Amino acid sequence: MEELIEEERKKMQTIRLKLKEEITSGIAKIPVEVDSLTPDKLFGKNEAEIKAVKVWWGNKEENTGDLFDVSVEGEAASADEVKIVMEGDLSRVKHIGDGMKAGEIEALGDVDMHCGAMMQGGRVTVKGNADCWAGREMRGGELIIEGDAGDNLCAMYRGEMTGMTGGKVTVGGDAGECVGQYMAGGEILIKGNAGILTGLNMKGGKITIEGDAIMPGADMTGGEITVKGKVRDMMPSFKFVETATIEGEEYKKYLGDLAMTEKRAKGVLYVK
């Protein structure tokens, strides 16, 4: 088994991007936007070419090499075999993995907004917390946040009408408000608590909360929410249907949200 793992590791190309200390050493930390630095966009580029890729630093475009220390190890036959490891103070680095289609990104620390937004494939792992809008309008792939997630996880952005439609998101800690707003597909697992209005306007997909939730499922017309902890302020417009058994545990099954009319209320909410 160890030999197989080592063989697979050798097939991967690892691109290390370490944010330079001087970029975040000032009083005002100016955000860096890195949606141009995904495995599918960097595949086939050598170290010099990666350093020349443009990223936004505040309102100016800069070369990646001016903001990050860059190193490349190994080779890749496709974007699926490219792994990007991001290091340094990433707390003001936005759009990590935004729109990525393949490969892997590992962020070693807390990250800023829009991590994994509009992902189509591949995997992003955050070894810390992720700020607002992580997994926004996600279409596929996998996003793992080992710490907490901010507000609007997997929701739609302002002015849009559909949030997450595919893929899988796992949050090791808590999540903020409006998780999965206008969600239409995919799967979200929150191992801690969820803030107010999880599944607001939800149309499809599945959300599992292992901790507590506040007013989940408001205005939902489809999809499924399971709360394994306590529900605070249960929406009064949900109709109890039956008692169901999930993984050996008994839950109360509700349909709703009837505030959206009985004909449209196709959402399912399981609570203890």
pLDDT tens per residue across span 155-179: 999 999 999 999 999 999 999 999 9
- Positions of E strands within 8-50: 13-19, 32-33
Cβ atoms of 175 and 156 within 8 Å: the answer is no
Torsion sign (Cα): 244, 182, 98, 40: positive
Q: Who contacts 182 (Cβ-Cβ below 8 Å, separation ≥6)?
A: 155, 156, 160, 161, 162, 163, 200, 201, 202, 203
For residue 240, the tally of other CB atoms under 10 A from its CB is: 12
Q: What percent of the chain has pLDDT over 70?
A: 96
Q: Is 241 helix (H, G, I), strand (E, B) or coil?
A: strand
5 pLDDT band (50/70/90 cuts)? very low
8 pLDDT band (50/70/90 cuts)? low
Cα gap 129→146, rounded to integer Å: 7
Which of 113-122's residues contact partners 24+ apart within 8 Å by CB, and which partners?
A: 113/150, 115/143, 115/145, 116/141, 116/143, 116/169, 119/143, 119/167, 122/38, 122/39, 122/40, 122/79, 122/80, 122/97
Report whether pLDDT(3) > 60.
no
Whats the size of the chain, residue-wise? Answer: 272
In this structure, of 8-12, 87-91, 220-224, the range with the lowest mean pLDDT score is 8-12
Report whether pLDDT(208) > 80.
yes
**What pLDDT, on a 0 to 100 scale, did the predictor assign at position 24?**
87
Q: What percent of the chain has pLDDT over 90?
A: 93
Torsion sign (Cα): 35, 39, 44, 48: positive
**What pLDDT, on a 0 to 100 scale, did the predictor assign at position 264?**
93
Average pLDDT over residues 132-151: 98
Identify the burial level of 5 via C-beta atoms within 10 angstroms of its C-beta, where 0-12 means exposed, 13-18 middle and 19 or more buried: exposed
Look up residue 138 and give its amino acid. Answer: M
Residue of 253, 259, 251 lying closest to 221 (CA atoms): 259
What are phi and psi for residue 233, nearest 5 degrees? 55, 60
Cα gap 169→141, rounded to integer Å: 9
* pLDDT tens, residue by residue, 100-112: 999 999 999 999 9
**What pLDDT, on a 0 to 100 scale, did the predictor assign at position 82?**
98
Residue of 251, 246, 249, 232 lying closest to 217 (CA atoms): 232
**What pLDDT, on a 0 to 100 scale, did the predictor assign at position 79?**
98
pTM exceeding 0.75: yes
DSSP conformation letters of 49-107 = HHHTSEEEETTEEEEHHHHEEEEEES--SSGGGEEEEEES--TTEE-TTTT--SSEEEE
The alpha carbons of the chain give a radius of gyration, in whole angstroms, of: 20
